Amino acid sequence: MRTTVGIIGAGPAGLLLARLLHGAGVDSVVLEARDRAYVEQRQRAGILEQGTADVLRAAGAGARMDREGLRHDGIELRFDRRRHRVDLSALTGGRSVMVYAQTEVCKDLVALRLADGGPLLFGAEALAVEGAGTDAPRVRFRHRGREDVLECDYVAGCDGFRGVSRRAVPAGVSRVFERTYPFGWLGVLADVPPSHDELVYARHDRGFALLSMRSPSVSRLYLQVPGGTQPKEWSDEDVWRELERRLETADDWTLRRGPVTQKSVTPLRSYVHEPMRYGRLFLAGDAAHIVPPTGAKGLNLAVGDAVTLARALGHRKETGSDELLDAYSATCLRRVWQAERFSNDLTALLHRAPDATAFEDRLQLARLERIASSRAAGTDLAEAYTGFPLEGGADAAAADG
C-alpha cells in the first residue's frame, strides 16, 4: 500500500489532518487500531476554542457543531462561597468557546472521511514506523490478522501518548519535559440538566470542583481527588455531597442531582516531547504533548498541530519548498508551551496541594480576587481560555470550505 501521508491514529488530530489534506489535494491513509464504535464513543474533551470551531467550520465539519453545540461567552469562578463571572466575549472582542464533545467531533470527521472516499482503516494496529529519518518512511501494521506495510512520503504520528510513533525518534534526539501532579480528577456523567448555563470552576479548601456539561440534559462534573484514587472508592451519594460542599455559594444557587451513568478518574500530568519532528515523521496531539485538563487545551492543541502540518504539506505540494515543514516543530511548540503555562497556572490557582500551607491558601484567594477586580487580569485569563492564535488559522482549512 502506498500514499503520500500515512496518518497513524483516528483521533481529532489524525481525522482533521486527513480532511485538510483532502481539501489541499494531498492523498493520505489513516490507520486506527480501534474499531469505529470505540473511536466515536471514547469520552475525552468537550471545550472547543474559538479557533478550533472556526477551523472545523472552514473544513466543512461545523454544521452539526453549530446546530447542537453550546456556545459559551463566559465562565464562572467560585471561591470563598462567592461567584465571579469572567465575560470571555467582552474581554476578547467577541471570542467564545463551544461545548461540543470530542466524541461528536470524531463522528463528524469520520463521516466526512468516509464520504470523501479516503482510506480509513479501523482495526489497523500500527506496529512500527521504519525509516523515519530517510526519504522513504514506512509504517508496519496489522489489519484483519495479517501484517502489511504502508509506504509513504511522510508519516503523521497522531496515535497518542502510548502509540508507536514517538518510539521512532532516536533517544539521542528526544528531549522530554514533564510534571506529574499529586492529585487527579474524579469525573462523572449524570443524566441531569446542568445546574448553571456556563462552566463553573470552584476553588475550595477541600479541593477543586468543576461543573461542566455535554448537552442541555447531561452534566459533566469533576472533583479533585488524591493521586491513586479508584472510582469505586466513591459512591454516587459521596460524589453529590462533595460537589455540593465545594460548589456552595452564599446565595440561593443549588446543585441538581441525577442518575450517574459513568465514573472515572483522570491523573493530571504535563508532558512535552521535543522536537515534534524527526526526518519525515511529524508528531501531533498527545503523541507530542499532554496538558492537565484544567485549561481545556488538549483537543485544541491537537487541532493546532493538524492545521500547522496540513498547511506545511499543502505548501510543499504547491511550491516544492520544505520551509514550513522544517518549521513545523518550532511553530507548534510556541503554542504548546503557552498552553502548558496556562494549564499549569490555572491548575495551581484552583487546586489545593496536599501539603498546602495557610500562606499558600491566602495567595490563591488573592490571585482570584485580582482576576475578579482587574480587567487586565481577567483579560489575560479570557484570551488564554478562548485560545492562542493558530498560525495559518482557519485559512489553512478554507481550501476545502
Q: What is the pLDDT of residues 312-365, one digit of tens each?
A: 999 999 999 999 999 999 999 999 999 999 999 999 999 999 999 999 999 999
Q: What is the pLDDT of residue 399?
A: 42
Q: Out of 297, 315, 328, 351, which one is annotated catalytic? A: 297
Q: What is the pLDDT of residue 392?
A: 55
Q: Out of 100, 181, 201, 278, which one is annotated catalytic? A: 201
Please say if 119 is a catalytic residue. no
The three-class DSSP label of residue 294 is helix
Please say if 385 is a catalytic residue. yes
Q: What is the pLDDT of residue 393?
A: 53
Please say if 315 is a catalytic residue. no
Cα–Cα distance for residue pair 342/361, rounded to 1 Å: 20
Q: What is the pLDDT of residue 117?
A: 87
Cα–Cα distance for residue pair 140/130, rounded to 1 Å: 8
If you search the block for the grid coordinates 475550595, which residue do you land on? Answer: 204
Domains with residue ranges and CATH for the chain: 2-71+99-179+268-355+391-400 (3.50.50.60)
Q: What is the pLDDT of residue 45?
A: 73
Q: How many CB atoms lie within 10 A of CB 25?
A: 12
Q: Sheet of 70-72: strands edge to edge?
A: 47-48, 97-99, 70-72
Q: Which residues of the chain have pLDDT under 50?
A: 395-396, 398-401
Q: Out of 72, 273, 289, 351, which one is annotated catalytic? A: 72
Q: What is the pLDDT of residue 389?
A: 83
Q: Out of 293, 315, 328, 351, which one is annotated catalytic? A: 293
